[in-house]
Each structure stands twice: as structure tokens, then as C-alpha cells.
Amino acid sequence: MNNLVVLPILLPLITGVIALLFFRRVNIQRVVSVIGLLLTAAASIVLITQVTQSGIQTLNMGGWEPPYGIVLVADMVSALLVVAASIIALACLLYAFRSVNKEREEHHFYPFFHFLIAGVNGSFLTGDLFNLFVCFELMLISSYALIVLGGTERQLRETIKYVLINIVSSALFVASIGFLYSVTGTLNMADLSNRIAEVGQSGVITLIAVLFLIVFSIKAGLFLFFWLSGSYAAPPAVVTALFAGLLTKVGLYAIVRTFTLIFYHDPDFFHALIGWMAGATMVLGVIGAISYRDVNKILIYNVIAGVGFVAFGMAAASRPALEGLLFYMLHDMLIKTLLFLLGGALIAVAGTSKLDNMGGLIHRYPLLGWMFFISALALAGIPPFSGFPGKLLLFEGGLQAGLYGLTGIAVLSSLLMLYSVLRIFIQAFWGEPPAGAVRRPYAVNGLLIPAGILFVFIIAMGVGAEGMFQLTSRAGDILLHPNVYIDAVLKE
């Protein structure tokens, strides 16, 4: 057992509680928040180092042996995602210092921020389905507060919709867990895998698996994304960036984990179903991205299209596809967060999110403009940036699995994603500002510094793709061979 496994969950929880105690002292909350996230990032890096050197790390909470107690599991898949989440959280926190108004800060912005990170990390590290539900709820309750904080009419309207959708999906999640427990007698993921393998994936278990797929697809925005565009556009830019980088990825992680570890006995049906959902999500996502002339809406629909790419890898499920899925998911977490941070800075300097009211900003904000341009190239998978290796592996895996039509959709979607984001760059930064446009001075450098943290990682992941591939390849082995995970958890 390794007690370090709990730290990426425990440290944000402690940080959030301490921040609550100083709710009237914003400066103390800021200092505590930075220290807490630095410690969380350090613990995540030490954890992935141990996973690299010694294999899967586990922690049996309370000394109860699995499958009877709560178990936390850090394999290469979850360790990589926890490290990425820590980097994103730190960048968003520093961005919040310059973009979130004092009223929001005094109304518990930082505690909810840290509780959300605890829920995200807990979702990645938990080894049983019930605690996955608990961590989902911790993450979602925090997200409710972060969306509504500020109290504008639009935020209140979108929060009601967001809460109602998630209440329904959470109720379905609990029902699915209850059905699965009644059939198998366990909720430990490793033990579930063994028991379903022993009795076979009957029609009842297949039906339960479909229910889980519906739940996780709602959380991830996979095909069932009707709630996402409005809800993500309502809060401040830093909150939207945090949601785009983390929340949808937790739902995708749940799909990947459950359908490679638990419900993998009927691949023809589920891979075909996920493939259709992936194709529809990519198509509808890029249609939305190229249809709107609003910066927020364009970026939000690119988030939806990115969800389809990850699901495409799950549908192919070959070795290159699963390795590419993990590489692309890490890239997508970073690049979507970065684009929303840069988009927030762009809206701040332009005074509007409407492209028709922008123009000529490259002369006053060249660093912002060129960072946005390079980020657009990375989003589309142009070498040598981080999007290229993951997409290349996904395309190879799709062709290897015989998914020629879906691979073609993915290639076309990549080009349209590039077009949609380059249109922002061309419209906002080149040409002349529209007649009557008022440009107020804005100190944008304070926003670009935290965005620059993610920008460096985007470049490093592309240039150092060989080193990253070694890690994602090991993660792919775990997804391809569930017995590795099962033996590490059950110590068989």
C-alpha cells in the first residue's frame, strides 16, 4: 500500500476547508490556494514517478482488503490524468487572480475551486463505482456553485438547466450502481471484472452497461451534449476553462475505464455504439463551431468535437487507438483550457465576444495574437505541437480497426476545427476595427503568464512526443490487458 495515493484528493480538500475559514480574507485565500495546489502538483509528480518505477500503486482505506473496502488505485492512466489536472488547476488559479472580481472571491470561489479539483482527482483514482459516484457529486456540486457565482440572470438560468440535467443523470447513475450490485454483489472495479468474466456478460449486464454509457455520455457531452453549450458560456472565462479542461474528461475517463475493465465482453456491440456516438459528436461539434460568430460558442463546440475524438479511439480499441486516445486526451485537457484562457483575454481586450465587433488587435496585443495562432495549430494537430502525435495514433488505430468512414470524419473534423479557430484569429487580430469600436486599455500580460504555463506544455508534449509516448504506451497496456489492473488491486 502507498499512502501517497490519497494526497491528490486530500490536499485540495484540506486547502478548500482552510480557504473557507478565511472567507473574508481574500489575500490569505490566494496564498493558501497556491500553496495547496503546488503541494498537490508535487504529490502528483511523485506519484507518477513511483508508478513509472514500481508499477500500479494502491491504498486500501481503513486497512480493509478489497473488494470489501474502499481502494484507491494509481495506474499510469489515472496518474497521467491527475498530473494534467494539477497543471490545469494551477494555471487557472493564477488566471483567476487577475480575472475574478472581489465579490466572487469573497463568496467562496476558492473553496469551491479546490473541492472541484478534489472531486476530479478522486474520480481518476477511485477503484470502485460507488466512490466514483461520490467523487462525481463532489465535483458537480462544486461546479454548480462556480457557475452561479455572480448571480447574473444568464447564470441563474443556465445553472437551473445544468443542475436539473445532472440530477437526472446522477439518479440514473445511482440506479445503475444498484442494479449492478444486485446482479454481481460487488462494486469494486477489479472484482467486477472478475465476476462478469466468470458468469459472462448476460443480457441484463449488457443493459446495465448501456445505462452506464448513457450516464457517462451525459457527463462527458458525448452525443448527449444539448446542455453543454449554454452552461459553459455562462460563468467567467476561467471557470469555463476549468470545466472544458476537466469536467468532460472525467466522463470520458469513466467510459474508457469501465468499458476496458468491466464491460469489455461484448466489444462488437459497444464499440459500434460508441463509434456512432463519436461520429455524430464530431460532426455536430464542428458544425456548431463553424456556424457561430461568437468566440465562446466557437470554443465550446470545439470542446464537443474533441469529446468525439476521444470516443473515436475507444470505438477503434486497437493498441494504436488506445495509446492515441490517452495522448490526445492529455493534449485536449491542456489545449482546451489554454484556448479558453486566451479567449477570455481576447474578450477582455475587445470588450465583446462577437467576432463582427473585433478587428486589428494584433498591433496592440501581438503576444496574445500569436499565442492564439499557435494554439489553433496545436488544436488541429499540426506538427510539431501536442495534437499531432495523438491524432496520428488515433487515425492509425481507426484504419487498423477498419473504421474507414469514422477515420475520414475525424480527419475532416480536424480541418474544420482548425478553420473555426483560425477564423477567430483572422477576424479578431487582422483587418481594421469596426467603425465606432471603443478599445479600452487592458493589462493583458497578467492573463498571459498563467496561459503561458499551458502553452509551454503544449509545445513540450509535441517536441518531446517520444518521451510522452513511452508513458501513454504503458497506459495503453493497462487498458488492453485488464488482468494487470486486477492483479495489482486484488493482489492475486
Residue 438 has pLDDT above 60, yes or no: no
Contact between residue 385 and residue 374 where contact means Cβ atoms under 8 Å apart = yes
| pLDDT over threshold 70, residue 442 | no
Residue whose C-alpha cell reads 463519436 in the numeric block: 278
Residue 1 reports pLDDT greater than 80? no
Render pLDDT for 334-352 as a digit per residue (tens, 0 to 9).
999 999 999 999 999 888 8
pLDDT tens-digit map of 169-195: 999 999 999 999 999 999 999 999 999
Percent over 70 (pLDDT), the chain = 98
Give the pLDDT band of residue 446 (cuts 50, 70, 90): confident
pLDDT at 202 over 90: no
3-state secondary structure of 226: coil
Q: Look at residue 103 in the predicted model and tell me its pLDDT.
A: 86
Residues above pLDDT 90, as percent of the chain? 82
> Angle, to 10 degrees, between the axis of helix 76-99 and the axis of helix 7-21?
20
List helix spans (H) across 292-403: 295-316, 319-350, 366-380, 387-400
Rounded to 5 degrees, φ, ψ at 235 are -80, 175
Q: Taking the mean position of all CA atoms in its chain, how far away is CA 437? A: 36
- Burial string for 377-391 (b: 16+ CB within 10 Å, else e) reads bbbbbbeebbbbbbb
> Is the pLDDT at 119 greater than 70, yes or no?
yes
Residue 469's pLDDT is: 93
Per-residue pLDDT at 467 exceeds 70: yes
pLDDT at 440 over 70: no
Q: Does the pLDDT value for residue 439 go beyond 70?
A: no
Q: What is the pLDDT of residues 255-295, one digit of tens each?
A: 999 999 999 988 889 999 999 999 999 999 999 999 999 99
What's residue 432's pLDDT?
77
Query: What phi and psi values does residue 280 have, to the nearest 5 degrees?
Result: -65, -40
Higher pLDDT, 293 or 434: 293
The structure's pTM equals 0.96
For residue 68, count other CB atoms closer than 10 A to its CB. Answer: 11
Q: Cα torsion at 45, 46, 52, 57 (round to 10°)?
A: -120
Helices 189-199, 153-184: inter-axial angle, 10-degree rounding: 50
Please list, in sequence order, all residues whose beta carbon lies within 8 angstroms of the beta carbon of residue 182, skipping any fewer than 6 positions away.
none
What pLDDT is recorded for position 342? 96
d(CA 403, CA 312): 9
- Are 347 and 385 in contact by the 8 Å Cβ rule? The answer is no
What pLDDT, in 10s, does the model give residues 301-316?
Answer: 999 999 999 999 999 9
Residues 6+ apart with CB under 8 A from 79: 44, 47, 48, 51
143: cell is 461546479
The CA distance from 43 to 47, in Å, is: 6
Tens digits of per-residue pLDDT, 55-69? 999 999 888 888 888
Residue 360: is its pLDDT beyond 90?
no
| Alpha helices (runs of H) in 55-101, residue ranges in sequence order | 76-99
Residue 363 has pLDDT above 70, yes or no: yes
pLDDT band, residue 441 (cuts 50/70/90): low
Which tens digit of pLDDT belongs to each residue from 374-391? Answer: 999 999 999 999 999 999
Residue 224: is its pLDDT beyond 80? yes
Residue carrying C-alpha cell 455572480: 150
Average pLDDT over residues 9-38: 95
